[in-house]
Every structure is written in C-alpha cells, then in structure tokens.
Amino acid sequence: MNKKLAIIGFGNQATAWALNLRDSGWDIKIGLRENSKSLMLCHELGFDTFDFEKESGHALYAILTPDETHLQIIKTLSSINSKSSFIYAHGYSLTYSHVLDFGQDHILLAPKAIASELRFEYERKGKNGGVYSFEYLKDQSLKETILTLGKDLGLTSMHEASVKDETIADLFSEQTVLCSTLPYSALYSFNKLRENGVSAEVAFFECWHEVKLIANTMVKLGPAKFFDLISPNALIGSEIGRSIFFDNQYEKKLEQILYNIHSGKFAKDLESVDFEKVKEEVKSFWEAQELTHVHKRLEKDLYQ
C-alpha cells in the first residue's frame, strides 16, 4: 500500500493528523500557500512543504482547512491534477458547497475528537472513534487505504455513515450540547453561586472543573451505570433539574435548531456572518468573566 498523503493546511487538526500519520509510517507533505505563517512551524517539526497553488503530482489530499476555503482549494487542486482524490475531516462542505461538482473522489474521514485529544490518545496508545463515508468514492481500490489511514490516525472505532448524517449530527451537537449548553450553563451556574455569596473557588470546582470529571464518567460507564453510580443527592437533584429545564419548550427549541440545519437555513445564514467579528465579541465576553480569571488562577495547580 502506498502510504503517501498531502495535507492542505497546518492548523490544529492538520497538525495532529500529520504527527500521528508520520509516526505511523506515512510519507506526509504539507501544502501551504507561498507566504503562509505556518511554514516555519512545519519546518521546525520536520515536515516537507509545497505550494499547493502551483505544485502537482499528489494523488491523495486531506483538506484540513476551514470549511469556507474548501471550494476554492478544490478548484485549484483540480486544475493542477484532475485525477486527485480528496479526504475531508467533516462533511459540511460536501453537503453545503459545490465541491462535488468536480469529478474526483471525495471521501469523508471524520475523527470524533478535537485535535489535542486526537494526538494525546495516539501518543498514549489510547482510543478514539470516527466515521467515514465512501458514497462519493469511485475508485474502490482506495477503501483499504482510507481505512488504514483512519487506523493509523489512532481511530480504534470507525463506523460508516452518510455524509449528510455526519454533517447534521455534528452541527446539531455543537449547537445543542457541546459548545452551547455545556459552557454557558456552567457559566450561568457559577455566576448564580457567586451572586449568593459562594466563594469563587468553590463555585469554580462545582460548576466548571467537575464538568470534565462527570463527562468522563458518563462516557466511560454509559448512561445506565452512571445514574446507578451517583449519590442519592445527585440522583434526586438530577430529576429535579430535568423536570424544570427539559419541558415542552426545550423540545421545541431542539426541533427549531434541527429544522434550521436540515433546511439549509443555518448554512445560508452563515454566509452573511462576519466570523472574525463574532469571534472577537465572544472572546471579549469570556475574557471579562470572573470564571475565566478563576480558571487562569487555578490552571497551574489543576491542569499543567
């Protein structure tokens, strides 16, 4: 098997892919623009680079840049080599942009882990999961290569799924749990305790630090064993919280979010959003929170 891969981009996810695959015996080259800020880091880490806007000859690419850049990158790469095949780490651009207008093979290989965890678990010989899709793959001989690539990334549990399902589930989970409910409910709970005189450290431990501990236990044990394990106070408290928060209005809000994703409204609205402006606003909001200052004060003792 030819273990050669050209990775476009060198952000967090691309870096984790490059390191894991190189350590697994792959020949990795990093495609960047001529004046990319990532060139120095690539060379420091010992990776060969090439200008993907000019150089041809690569048969298999992993496109690991932001979604909004994919279409232009595919246009560029296709004009240089019409027989290349493309791997995507998630299905957004396959679903909502026009990358499929180009006739090459398009493959989904989506690790279900953030970049730091993908690398951490690989280094400690741990476990990670992911999904893949061959629905836009014409060259069937590539299947073995892609499955081997996933294994060499450190994915110990890989499951076939449609691109549409992966895309919708990814967007839905971010909006309903992972990047919304978890951090913001933790923040509001922390602030409420502080308003009622609870010390910053105690509020931090209860509302932020323990999120990781509880989530790890949930994932490790599964839902039934988790609720069998927790204390009587925690069990009764969970039922009280469930009865207050998870009512018909909550269900309707979930349906609205899912409808916006299914209908394409979210993708369309995203086109008019000034991402950098929103990012700065969110960053400023969180930097102003007492919770952030407490985290900075305690992180050396807890996380470093």
CATH fold, domain 4-161, is Rossmann fold (3.40.50)
Q: What is the CA radius of gyration of the chain?
A: 22
Per-residue model confidence (pLDDT) at position 290: 98
Q: Check if the beta carbon of residue 70 is closer than 8 Å to that of residue 167.
A: no
> Cα(199)–Cα(195) distance, rounded to whole angstroms?
10
Which 8-state DSSP code applies to residue 262? H
> Cα(245)–Cα(218) distance, rounded to whole angstroms?
20
Instruction: Determine the angle formed by the axes of helices 290-303 and 181-195, rounding to 10 degrees.
Output: 110
Catalytic residue of the set 43, 90, 98, 159: 90
Q: Check if the beta carbon of residue 221 is closer than 8 Å to that of residue 239.
A: no
Q: How many CB atoms neighbour CB 216 within 10 A?
A: 10
Q: How is the chain split into domains, by residue range?
A: 4-161, 180-303
Which 8-state DSSP code applies to residue 26? -
- Please tell me the pTM assigned to this model: 0.92
Q: What is the pLDDT of residues 89-144, one digit of tens each?
A: 999 999 999 999 887 899 999 999 999 999 999 999 999 999 999 999 998 999 99
Q: Which pair of structure tokens corresponds to residue 47?
A: 């990776």
Q: 152 to each of 101, 128, 172, 218, how far by Cα in Å?
A: 30, 11, 28, 27
Q: Check if the beta carbon of residue 7 is closer than 8 Å to that of residue 64.
A: yes
Tell me, yes or no, if 90 is annotated catalytic.
yes
Q: Is 1 a residue whose pLDDT tops 80?
A: no
Q: What is the pLDDT of residues 268-293, one digit of tens each?
A: 999 999 999 999 999 999 999 999 99
Q: What is the pLDDT of residues 2-49, one digit of tens each?
A: 899 999 999 999 999 999 999 999 999 999 998 899 999 999 999 999
Which strands sit side by side in the sheet containing 4-8, from one edge to the other?
48-51, 27-32, 4-8, 60-63, 85-88, 105-111, 128-136, 155-160
Per-residue model confidence (pLDDT) at position 102: 84
